[in-house]
């Protein structure tokens, strides 16, 4: 990959990639807070610190911003994959708390993206598909891990792993969605408390009997 060094006395000019990111970030923030249709190109330009016309130099139009952002879920997915891979086949009783924390922090960290995906899911098929694909991929990953723990005998053999995984993830997702406006400190406390209690219920429903052979 060749570098594209901006040589010369570039004062306030930015590289194309950097500028694109800046515009997308501005759009994402506003889409999450006011919705796609409720956000004007003027507001995006203002948030990004540029003028309206420049948006059209980098993108075909407002709609393209939405599509581009929906694709960003791949970035999110990469993080999730590494999260799940790191845990390998360690015991669920010790690993699930870490997965829970990782998922919660991920969703929180990518909060605007998640809010946008959920909010616009029904108005824009591409967004809905991206959201569904994201959830499904994560669910599939977690399910795979659970299946391995079933095979290892830690989790009970008749555990419906797909639904168990979906329940786990969607509960935490919904928790975030209804608490997104908490400040970081309050969020830390609430999230920890909620996650702990959820693991209590969930693990008991999934574990094999301790007194099994």
Total residue length of the chain: 213
In this complex, which beta carbon is closest to a second copy, that of residue 90 or of residue 133? 133
In which residue are the tokens 């924390």 written?
Answer: 101
Figure out which of the listed residues 2, 5, 9, 88 binds DNA, where binding follows CB under 7 A: 9
Alpha-carbon gap, residue 124 to 138, rounded angstroms: 21
In this complex, which beta carbon is closest to DNA, that of residue 47 or of residue 137? 47
- Residues at the contact surface with a second copy, assessed by CB under 8 A: 32-38, 115, 118-123, 131-132, 135, 158-160, 162-164, 166-167, 170-171, 173-175, 177-178, 180, 194, 197-198, 200-206, 211
In this complex, which beta carbon is closest to a second copy, that of residue 50 or of residue 166? 166
In this complex, which beta carbon is closest to a second copy, that of residue 120 or of residue 154? 120
The reply to whether 5 sits near DNA by the rule CB under 7 A is no
Residues 52 to 71 in contact with DNA, rule: CB under 7 A: 52-54, 56-57, 61-63
In this complex, which beta carbon is closest to a second copy, that of residue 60 or of residue 125? 125
The reply to whether 42 sits near DNA by the rule CB under 7 A is yes
- What are the residue ranges of helices labelled H in the chain? 16-34, 41-48, 52-58, 62-71, 73-87, 92-109, 111-120, 125-151, 161-177, 184-206
Q: Do 172 and 100 contact (CB within 8 A), yes or no?
A: yes
- Of the chain, the end-to-end C-alpha distance in Å amounts to 57
Stretch in the footprint of DNA (CB under 7 A) among 3-11, 69-77, 107-115, 200-208: 3-11
Question: In whole angstroms, how large is the CA radius of gyration of the chain?
Answer: 21
Kindly state the tokens that stand for 98: 């870490």
Kindly give, in sequence order, each residue whose CB lies less than 8 Å from that of residue 194, ignoring residues fewer than 6 positions away.
172, 175
In this complex, which beta carbon is closest to a second copy, that of residue 183 or of residue 211? 211
CB of 194 to a second copy, least distance (A): 6
C-alpha closest to that of 145 among 105, 98, 104: 98
The reply to whether 123 sits near DNA by the rule CB under 7 A is no
Q: For binding to DNA (CB under 7 A), which residues are involved?
A: 9-14, 16, 19, 39-42, 50-54, 56-57, 61-63
């Amino acid at each position: 990959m060749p570098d594209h060094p901006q040589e010369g006395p570039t004062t306030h000019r930015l590289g194309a990639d950097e500028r694109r990111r800046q515009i997308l970030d501005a759009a994402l923030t506003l889409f999450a807070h006011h919705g796609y249709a409720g956000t004007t190109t003027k507001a995006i330009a203002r948030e990004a610190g540029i003028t309206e016309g420049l948006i059209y130099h980098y993108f075909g139009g407002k709609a393209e911003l939405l599509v581009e952002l929906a694709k960003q879920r791949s970035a999110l997915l990469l993080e999730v994959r590494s999260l799940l891979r790191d845990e390998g086949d360690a015991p669920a009783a010790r690993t699930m708390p870490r997965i829970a924390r990782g998922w919660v922090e991920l969703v929180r960290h990518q909060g605007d993206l998640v809010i946008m995906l959920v909010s616009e899911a029904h108005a824009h098929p591409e967004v809905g598909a991206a959201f569904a694909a994201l959830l499904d991929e994560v669910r599939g990953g977690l399910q795979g891990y659970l299946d391995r723990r079933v095979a290892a005998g830690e989790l009970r053999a008749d555990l419906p792993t797909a639904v168990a995984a979906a329940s786990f993830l969607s509960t935490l997702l919904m928790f975030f969605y209804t608490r997104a406006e908490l400040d970081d400190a309050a969020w830390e406390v609430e999230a920890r408390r909620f996650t702990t209690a959820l693991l209590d219920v969930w693990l008991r429903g999934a574990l094999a009997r301790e007194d099994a052979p």
